[in-house]
Amino acid sequence: MEKNLLLISNSTNRGEEYLGWCKEMIKEFCDRHNIKDVLFIPYAGISMGYDIYETKVKAVFSKLGLNLYSIHKEKDPIQAVRDAKCVAVGGGNTFHLVYELYRNKVMTAISERANSGMPYMGWSAGSNIAGPSLKTTNDMPIIEPESFNCMNIVPFQINPHYTDFFDPKHGGETRDERLGEFLKVEPTMWVAGIREATALLLENGKLTLIGRDNKMKVFRGTMEAKEFSLNDDINFLIS
C-alpha cells in the first residue's frame, strides 16, 4: 500500500499568520485524497493546552473546508485512530508528544494506518515522529516517554526547523555538530534537515521536497552533507 504523507517543517513564519504559509498545501493534500474530516493530535502542545490548541488549528482548517476534531476529546483514542480518514499531528514538544502517544496507546495504531495508506500530515514535532525515532528533535526532554522509537513511516530521520545559521556570539554547538553526534551513534541512518517553509510530500511512491525555494540538507555517517533543491530527486531516502 502506498503511503500518503505531508511532513511540514514549521507552522509559522515570522510575520505570517499561523499555518499561513502552508495552508494551501494542506488543502491541496486533503483535496487530492478526498478528505473532509481530520483527526488532530494535540499532544505536543503542552504550553497552551489541548483545548486551546484544537481551537487554534480548527480555526485554520475550517477556512479550508475541513472538519477538525481532537483525539483528546475521544472516549476511545485507539478506535478514533482506526476510524480516522486522516490524521494531523501538531508541533510543540516532541518528548511530550511521544510520551502521550505511548500513554494513550496510539503510536502503533497511527503508524499502522499511515503505513496502510491513510493520509497523514504533521508539522514540526508531528513531522519528526514520522521517522524511526525522536533522536533528531530540537526539543528539550521535559518528560521521559516509554521509548524514543516513533512511527517509522519513513525510513529516515527528520530534523525540522533545520538551520545552518551560525551566530558568532554563540559558543555552543551548531545544528550540524549536534546531528553529527547522532551520526556517530547511528552512522547508517539518513537525516533530512528540512528548513522553514518547506515540507516533504510522499505520494504515489515518490518523495519530493515542496514549499518555498529553500534547500534541504541531508546527512549520513561521515559523508559530506549535501543540499537538495525543490527540483532534485530525493527518492534515495526511501529506497
What SS3 state is found at 63? helix
Q: Which CATH number fits domain 5-161+194-213+230-237: 3.40.462.20, 3.40.50.360, 3.40.50.880, 3.40.50.300?
A: 3.40.50.880
62 catalytic? Reply is: no
Count the Cβ atoms, other than its own, within 10 Å of residue 160: 28
pLDDT of residue 219: 98
Residue 2 has pLDDT above 80, yes or no: yes
Is the distance from CB of 157 to CB of 190 less than 8 angstroms? yes
Tell me which amino acid residue 131 is. G
Is the distance from CB of 107 to CB of 89 less than 8 angstroms? no
The pLDDT tens digits for 27-54 are 999 999 999 999 999 999 999 999 999 9
Mean pLDDT of 214-225: 96
From 161, 232, 233, 239, the catalytic residue: 161
With CA atoms as reference, report the closest residue to 194 among 205, 208, 183: 208
From 9, 70, 111, 124, the catalytic residue: 124
161 catalytic? Reply is: yes
From 9, 70, 127, 139, the catalytic residue: 139
Torsion of CA 29, 14, 215, 125, to 10 degrees: -60
Mean pLDDT of 147-153: 98
124 catalytic? Reply is: yes
User: Parallel, antiparallel, or unpaired: how do β-strands 198-203 and 191-193 relate?
Assistant: unpaired
pLDDT of residue 172: 76
Half-sphere exposure of 193 (CA within 13 A, CB side): 21
Residue 168 has pLDDT above 90, yes or no: no
pLDDT of residue 114: 98
Place of cell 516509554: 146
> Does the global pTM surpass 0.95?
yes
pLDDT of residue 166: 76
Q: Quickly state the pLDDT bin for 173 (edges 50, 70, 90).
A: confident
Sign of the Cα pseudo-torsion (5, 180, 10, 198, in order)? negative
The pLDDT tens digits for 56-111 are 999 999 999 999 999 999 999 999 999 999 999 999 999 999 999 999 999 999 99
